[in-house]
Amino acid sequence: MTTESQAGAPNGALMLDAEALYHELLRGVRQLRAQETRLVGITSGGAWLAARLHKDLGLAGTAGVISSAMHRDDFAKRGLSGAGQQTQLHFDVNDSHIVLLDDVLYTGRTIRAVLNELFDYGRPAQVQLAVLVDRGGRELPVQADYAAARVSLPPSQSLELARDEAGNFSFKVQGQVR
C-alpha cells in the first residue's frame, strides 16, 4: 500500500513527517520480504533506512550498503562527491532476493547506477525497490515496488533525508518554489 501525499503548509512549503513515513515503510518492507530476503540501502539515506529496518525487523547480521558513485552517468561532473560510504555487501549476491532501499526516488538515475554496482557483485534472483518518498520526475523507466509516500516537487527543489544523533529522521527541503 502506498500513501499518496500532497502535504503542504499554507505558504506552499512541503511538510512531511519522516518518522511517520518510516513506520509506513516498515509495514511495506514487511510485506515485500520473504524469510531469506536481504536488505540493501543506497548511501546515505537509504543505508540509514536499511540499518534501522534491519534492527526493527529483528534480522541477524547487518544490512548491506551500496553506493552509486562509480556507475553514475554524471560521474565526470560530480566525481566522487557524496561517496563517503562504499559498497558493503556481506552476503553472496548470486541468487539472492534483495530489497533495495532509498530515501527519495526522483529521476531514476541513482537506481540505474546502483543496479550496475549490484551486478558487479553477482546476479541476484530478484531485486525489489522500496522508497520513503517518490517525488516523480522520472527520466528513466524506474518504479518503486513500494513507496511510503508520493509527493510533487518542482525541479528547483530537492528533498533530502536527515538523521539526528538519536537516529530520528526528518526531511530537508532546499530550493525555491517557482
For residue 45, is pLDDT > 90? yes
Give the pLDDT score at 138.
96
pLDDT band at 175 (very low <50, low <70, confident <90, very high): confident
Q: Tell me, what DSSP letter sits at residue 14?
A: B
Residue 8, C-beta contacts closer than 8 angstroms, at least 6 positions apart: 14, 15
C-alpha 65: how far from its chain's center?
Answer: 11
Q: What is the pLDDT of residues 106-134, one digit of tens each?
A: 999 999 999 999 999 999 999 999 999 99
Output the pTM of the full model: 0.88
Q: Which domains are present in the chain?
A: 18-175 (3.40.50.2020)
- Answer whether residue 159 shows pLDDT above 80: yes
Written as nine digits, the cell of 87 is: 559498497
